[in-house]
Chain A
Amino acid sequence: MLRYIVRRLLWGIVLLIAVIAITFVIFYLLPNVDPAILRAGRNSSPKIIAQISHDLGTDKPVYTQFWDYLKNLVLHFNLGYSYQSQASVKSLILDRLPATISLTVGAVVLWLAAGIPVGIVSAIKRRSLLDRSAMGAALVFVSAPVYWLGLLMLFMFASDIGRFPISFLHGSGSYTGLTNSPINWFESLLMPWFVLAATSAAIYARLLRGSLIDVMGEDYIRTARAKGLRERTVVMKHGLRSAITPLVTVLGLDIAILLGGAVLTEAVFNIPGIGRLNFDAITHGDFPIIQGTITLAAIFIIIANILVDIAYAYLDPRVRYS
């Protein structure tokens, strides 16, 4: 098991370097304004621009820049400095991370709390009115894009611009840190949580429904019933134990992706998280920030993959890694 984890971690590092390299290549291949020109402002001479280029390091060949970047990352855990604000990318990310984690954790809790019970009930009461309406609603939520649902919510219910304002649903840009005011933090995130959770809750409900329906047809469920167990125990213990396993894989990756920045949700609700940081950086061609956020997202996904595999070995005793 330990050898397996070490091997996976080493492969993860290789993958990470590949991701950084690809980001470099994409950034330099795509048409982009020279960051030095952007920084220099309107009245600047070529000399100043060359000076800035030198300061930023953008005058060096791409491979040298790549090498320097890796060296800084590995030796000093330094992700470089923003072209725009000169601020350290690492500190920018660390500043933004709490908002993204808040958004992710709340949304995950919400979608599991909604998706799992709906999935179970739909599987057990298959083809019932309840099942059909739940799966119909799920289809709507799966199809509704976050930016559409988010804007709809804001225009309908936000306390500032809503048509039917609800006092505790604060509008866009109202995010407050948890440590500043827990109540405001909670209220400001209610709508983003809901919007972010809606799609996933629907996907999870459908996923669990399908997987539970399959499991309930298994021979060992018949054995559980033949033992004289209550139907409730048969479903919740024997059925769910097997049916939930595929969800764990998806959950691990979903959490990792969200921690890498829920770009659309953070943009719609103007939440100062990683996604918003990335969004702004892309609009300004601020390469170090883009590279930093992508690296971060890649790290999350690689770690999540390994954690999911480890969790799988615990969930399914038949799985053994060597």
Chain B
Amino acid sequence: MSLLDVEDLRVTFPTEDGLVRAVDGISYSVDTGKTLGIVGESGSGKSVSSLTTLGLTRSQGARVEGRMVFEGDDLIEMNDDRLRKIRGNDIAMIFQDPLSSLHPFFKVGKQLSEAVLVHRKVSRSAARARAVELLDLVGIPDPERRVDAFPHEFSGGMRQRAMIAMALANEPKLLIADEPTTALDVTVQAQILALLEDLQKRLGMAIIMITHDLGVVAEIADEIAVMYAGRIVEHASTELIFGQPQHPYTWGLLKSIPRLDTPQDEELEPITGRPPSLINRPSGCHFHPRCPYVREAHKRVDPRLDSVAGERDHQVACLLPSELRMRIWRGLQEGRLPAELRALVAERNGQAAAVGEQREPLLSESEPGADGAAGIELTPPSAEPTPGPGQ
């Protein structure tokens, strides 16, 4: 059994404009000592899912369904008081902007010792001593003096170190890091990531690293889940995500990472369009309006996350045939542009369209046995559990 097992988590927020489906049926698990990277754009639901782990979306009026089993107990079922005892104790969290995440009016040491005192029956002086120890642990120089400083007297990197120290106060089994390096300089980012890796080795905790930047999780994560519009669209080991990515969105993310080993005049390939509204999501595959390889049927059929043929630990939610996906990815790696590769899809599509006009292509495309994209669901409106726009 994993340390944290998330099954079919759904988080919705009722608003005046409609129901926001922030997280729409995601499953993942994290083991002790391992790191899971959750990657996606803003609004993909990655932060909401992690805040829900600590029950921090409860006060925002979220409706939560599914299971989040932590050491045998379901965090979703748990009452506020029991969950509170897990927060900052067994599961700790660090956030994106360390300056706004630290209370501006309290000394760093006081905020650290408070984290200790919530869960441990120790004296104030012992808590303070622990605060100094923690600052030392995260590599803040001169911790005896720094413990009495205010957050604004720290540099950005030191503030994030202090946040990490606070999260580690009670030696949590799981650390959730929500964009921990986004607000920091590149050099400081690397330091913070190295620190997290080092601390994980020493303390043996599990880490969930949430980020929009695949580059951040490349080094640190064992597994990566790519989220889009509240769902996981691809989930695999870090090697597979970088080596044989299967989802067009993952390709887009990989192609938009600036690299040092490519020619300087080569332009980055952005993913066109905007993240979809979580109230009125696109029909069919939610990624279809932005996908360069979209076919007519993809606008109607909702792909399910399923194993790639031959690789049980590599899951993807894409309607394109597996063999075609591999060809496109190879093409992208050779430096060809999505617009050129689109021909591969259009060609097949044209053929398919020519074969028959009685909706046959829709089925022939799925060909479960042939191409391994076995998870395609036909979605008549009545059977669709998550209604698309206009429903």
Contact = CB atoms under 8 A, between A and B. Distances in A.
B104 A220 contact: yes
B101 A228 contact: no
A127 to B, nearest CB: 11
Nearest to B118: A228
Contact of B102 (A220, A226, A229, A241): A220
A76 interface: no
A227 B56 contact: no
A229 B114 contact: yes
Interface in A1-36: none
Nearest to B91: A226
B87 A225 contact: yes
Contacts of B56: 222, 225-226
B75 to A, nearest CB: 13
Interface in B338-369: none
Interface in A276-319: 315-318
Contacts of B330: none
Interface string B202-243: 000000000000000000000000000000000000000000
Contacts of B86: 228
A242 B97 CA distance: 18
Nearest to A220: B103
B95 interface: yes
Contacts of A318: 104, 150, 152
A96 interface: no
B87 A226 contact: yes
Nearest to A217: B60
Contacts of A317: 104-105, 150, 152
Given A227-B114, A228-B118, A318-B150, A219 B95 contact: yes
Contacts of B101: 219-220, 222-223
Q: Which of A220, A229, A230, A317 has the most CB of B within 10 A?
A: A220
Contacts of B84: 228-230
B103 A227 contact: no
Given A219-B100, A316-B104, A226 B152 contact: no
Interface string B139-182: 00000000000101000000000010010000000000000000
Contacts of A222: 56, 95, 101
B295 interface: no
Contact of B100 (A220, A224, A225, A238): A220
B67 to A, nearest CB: 21
Interface string B85-127: 1111100110101001111111000000011001100000000
A224 B103 CA distance: 9
Interface in A249-284: none
A218 interface: yes
A220 B97 CA distance: 10
B68 interface: no
Interface string A159-185: 000000000000000000000000000
B104 A228 contact: no
B177 to A, nearest CB: 12
Interface of A: 218-220, 222-231, 238, 241-242, 315-318
Top 8 nearest A-B pairs by Cβ distance? A228-B88, A228-B87, A227-B88, A219-B100, A220-B103, A219-B101, A317-B150, A226-B93
10 contacts: A223-B103, A226-B56, A226-B92, A227-B88, A227-B118, A228-B85, A229-B84, A242-B104, A317-B152, A318-B104
Interface of B: 54, 56, 59, 80, 84-89, 92-93, 95, 97, 100-106, 114-115, 118-119, 150, 152, 163, 166
Given A220-B102, A222-B101, A223-B103, 10 more contacts: A218-B100, A220-B103, A222-B95, A223-B102, A226-B87, A226-B88, A227-B88, A227-B118, A227-B166, A228-B88
